[in-house]
Structure 1
C-alpha cells in the first residue's frame, strides 16, 4: 500500500465519519417526530435500491446474490437493521453524545467475542485493554448512582449487536465476496424492516420528507465512501480514524440539539477510545508476527 493511497484512505475515512454523523443527526430529528421503525424502513428502501443498482452495474444480480451460506447472510442483514433501530432509539432517549460514547465500545466487544464466535485467540494484553475499556463504559453509565437509568443500556445493546454483526461479516467473508455480503445486507434488511415497519406508517410533512431524502442520501453516500476507503487503504491504517464519528456526532449534538457533555461521558469515552486504539494496535502486531517468515 503506497503512502499516497494510505493518505487518501484516511481522508476518505474522515469524510465517511462526517457523513455518518450527519446521518445520525437527521435520524435523531426524524425519530423524535415519527416512529423509529418507519424512519429506518424508508431509509432501508433507498439503501436496498442502492445496493441492487451497484450489483447490476458490477457483476449482475445473480453473481451478487450467490452464496453458500444464505441463512447466515440473511441473519446478519436482519441483525444490522435491528441494531440501527436500537441505536436510533438511543439517540432519541439519550442524545447523540452519550449514545456514541457508549457505542464506541464496539471494537472491544468484537475483540472479546472473536474467540467464542470465530475461534480466534485473544492475547492477554488485549484482554487487559478490553477490561480497561469497559471500566470506561461504567464511568459513562455510572451504575449505582442516582443519575443512572436503564435507558443508558440501550446504546450498549446496540454496540453488542453491531459487534456480532461485524464478526458474522468476517465469518461469511471467508467464502463470500464483499459485494455479496453488501447485497445481502441491503436486501434482507429492507425486507425485514418492511415487514415490521409498514404497520407504523404515518403521514410526514413536506419539510420532513426533505430531511428523509437527506437521510437516505447520507446513508448511501456514507456506505459508498466506506467502500472506497477500504479499496484504497489497509483497514489497519484507517480504522483508528473511525472514532472521529464520535467527535462529529457529539459536536452536532451539542451545537444543534443543545445536549451537554458531562464530565463522566468525556472521561469514559476517552478511556474507551484509548483501549480501542490499543486493541487495534495489538491486532496489527499479531498480524505482522504471523506474516513474518520463519
Structure 2
C-alpha cells in the first residue's frame, strides 16, 4: 500500500481533530513525514525481498503475505492491550476493501523489484485519480472540469514514466499502474466505510482479512525464507503498521488539507533509499514524470479540499 492510498482513503475515516485530539500542526507534520519514511521503507524492503539481495527472490504474493501477517500481529497485540471491542463491522465492505488492497500491494511489490522505487512510488500517486474516475459510476459523484484536468495531467505523467518507446519501455511499470487502479478501487470501499467504524477497527479487520486472503494465495508459490528474509518480512509488516498509525495520529492533530501534501515526501525517501541501498539514481525522465504526476495529484487534492469546504 502506498502512502497516497492511505492519505486519500483514511482521511475520510480519521478522527475529528476538533473533538478527539488537541490540534498540533507541528507534531502532525512530523508524524506525517514519519509515515512517508516508513512507507518508502516498505517498498525498499519489498524490492530487497523480490531480488537476489537476501537470497533466492521471494514471490510478490509471499511478500504481501508477510506484510499482512506481521502487521496484523502488531494490531492484534495493540487491540488486546486496549481491550478493543469490535462493534458491528460491515463485513462486505471490509472484504471488498481488503481484496483490492491486497491486490494493489502485491502488484506494487512486484513492480518494485523491476523498476526504480521513485518510478513505482510516483505511479502509485495515481490512485486518487482512478478513485475519482471510479466514483462516478460506483458512488454517483459528479466530476467537474478542474478535476478532469488534474486527472489528465497525472495520467500524462504516468505515460512519461512508462517510457513508451521500443528502447525504453518499462513493462513492469504496468504493474505499478495496475496497483494504482486497484488501490483506487480500495478507496471507493474506504469511502463507503467512512463514519461507520473507528479507524483502528478498520485497520485491524483489514489486516486480519488480508492475512486470510494472502495465506490462500501464497500456497502455490511458498518457499522457505532465509533468516534474513524472515527478519525483513517482519520489519516490513511492522513498518506498514507504524506508518498507518502515524498517519491516523497526524490527521487527528491537524486538518487533512494541511498534512496530506506532506505525503509526497514518500517520493523523496524512496529515491534516497534506492540510491543508498541499490545505487539507483532517478534519471531526468523519472524527475519529469514524477513532477507531472504530483502536479496533477496536488491539483486534484486542492479541488477535493475546496469541495469538502463547501459541504
TM-score, normalised to structure 1, is 0.90
Q: Does 1:218 align with 2:218?
A: no
Structure 2 partner of 1:172: 193
Structure 1 partner of 2:283: 262
Asked if 2 retains the 8 angstrom alpha-carbon contact of 1:173 and 1:181, the reply is: no
Structure 1 partner of 2:251: 230
Give the CA deviation at 1:62. Answer: 3.7
Structure 2 partner of 1:182: 203
Structure 2 partner of 1:14: 33
Q: Aligned match of 2:62 in 25, 35, 38?
A: 38
Distance 1:23 1:76 in 2: 20
Q: How many residues align?
A: 287
Asked if 2 retains the 8 angstrom alpha-carbon contact of 1:52 and 1:61, the reply is: no
Distance 2:96 2:108 in 1: 18
Asked if 1 retains the 8 angstrom alpha-carbon contact of 2:70 and 2:233, the reply is: no
Equivalences for 1:51-130 in 2 at 5 Å? Answer: 51-58=75-82, 60-63=84-87, 66-67=88-89, 69-130=90-151
Alignment RMSD: 2.0
Asked if 2 retains the 8 angstrom alpha-carbon contact of 1:26 and 1:215, the reply is: yes
Asked if 1 retains the 8 angstrom alpha-carbon contact of 2:40 and 2:270, the reply is: yes
Gap change, CA 1:52 and 1:213, over 3 Å in 2: closer
Flag structure 2 segments of 5+ consecutive residues without an equivalent: 1-16, 52-56
Flag structure 1 segments of 5+ consecutive residues without an equivalent: none
Gap change, CA 1:30 and 1:5, over 3 Å in 2: same
Distance 2:121 2:257 in 1: 21
Give the CA deviation at 1:145. Answer: 4.4
Q: Aligned match of 2:262 in 218, 241, 244?
A: 241
Task: Considering fraction of residues, name the structure with more helix.
Answer: 1
Asked if 2 retains the 8 angstrom alpha-carbon contact of 1:100 and 1:250, the reply is: no
Distance 2:266 2:210 in 1: 23
Deviations, residues 191-236 of structure 1 (Å, cap 9, x unaligned): 0011111343322323333323322321222222122112222222
Structure 1 partner of 2:43: 24
